[in-house]
Amino acid sequence: MLEGMIRQVNQNIQKRFKIGRPNFLRVAKVQNYGKLKNRFLGKLNKLQSQYALKDSDRLGMYHESFWKEYVFNAGKQFKVNIKPDQFVKLVNRWAYFDKSYKIPQIRKDFKGNPEFNKWVLDTDKKNHIKMFKQNIKPFEILFFQVGVEILKNIQGFLAVSPDKATQKIRQDVISAMKELQKADNLSKLQKLKIQIEKLEAIGGLNAIVPSEGLVFKYKGNLYKFTGAFAPINQILGSLKF
């Protein structure tokens, strides 16, 4: 409606840009839909079964379950009786960065087991944000892989010439990777290691399409698949900032 009103007053064509309605993309029927669906659901079910998660569990439960197993195994290893409330507070401290369980109190609670106390302090020094990213990474890659398959099958991109736009992005990525391999950029390359691994895992340069992603509505909620955009954006942006 807004687009129509703008067009009626001849303001839809600006000096540099054209104002138009949202671009509704066309998704062709996937020939091997059943095979792809089973493959992606199989990967999801494998991750879900690792910690016996339910369909109603949130993604954070996977990360929390990792820490529950981590703390539980340490308790068995050091033969320490971790009370239920202590167990929950240790898990929350490392899984959700909840620092309300203070180190002095931890030392006091486990003063009878110096080896476990040391294990707790050593664990507390680990990079928990990095561990979180590592735990969530399999889900990220899975979502990216689904997004890539959807975006590769879409028609109606805003790009005037989708094939040329795709080739341009691919060439930009290749140029960026060559630039990052120079001696003075090796530290940036190391920081982008995870993004490069993600791009490789979802198909590398073949996963690139001329679109950031696809927004869709499912059961009243809005969702978005971005495919290869996120890792590519990180790689290309690394040389600009």
DSSP 68: H
Residue 193 belongs to a domain: yes
Quote the pTM value.
Answer: 0.73
Residue 213 belongs to a domain: yes
* pLDDT at residue 155, as a whole number: 63
Quote the strand ranges of 120-197, DSSP E. Answer: 154-155
Co-location of 241 and 172 in the same domain: yes
Co-location of 111 and 162 in the same domain: no
* Residue where one domain finishes, among candidates 126, 156, 174: 126
Tokens of 147: 């997004």
| Ranges of the chain with pLDDT below 70 | 155-162, 239-241
* Residue where one domain finishes, among candidates 81, 104, 126: 126
Co-location of 97 and 160 in the same domain: no
Residue 22 belongs to a domain: no
> Do 207 and 199 meet the contact criterion of CB atoms below 8 Å apart?
yes
pLDDT tens-digit map of 75-98? 999 999 999 999 999 999 999 999
Co-location of 168 and 233 in the same domain: yes
Distance of CA 46 to the CA centre of its chain: 18
Residue 165: name the closest of 199, 226, 211, 109 by CA.
211
* Residue where one domain finishes, among candidates 126, 149, 172: 126
Range of the domain at 67: 50-126
* pLDDT at residue 118, as a whole number: 95
The SS3 assignment for 210 reads: coil
Helix (H) or strand (E) holding 8: helix 2-8
pLDDT tens-digit map of 205-226? 888 877 777 888 899 999 888 8
* pLDDT at residue 235, as a whole number: 80
Co-location of 114 and 168 in the same domain: no
Co-location of 206 and 156 in the same domain: yes
User: What separation in angstroms does the CA of 175 have from each of 64, 85, 94, 181, 241?
Assistant: 39, 53, 39, 10, 16
* d(C-alpha 147, C-alpha 213), whole Å: 8
Residue 230 belongs to a domain: yes
Co-location of 201 and 121 in the same domain: no
* pLDDT at residue 86, as a whole number: 97
* pLDDT at residue 175, as a whole number: 84
Co-location of 240 and 157 in the same domain: yes
* pLDDT at residue 240, as a whole number: 65
Virtual torsion, Cα 71, 77, 79, 80, nearest 10 deg: -20
Count of structural domains, the chain:
2
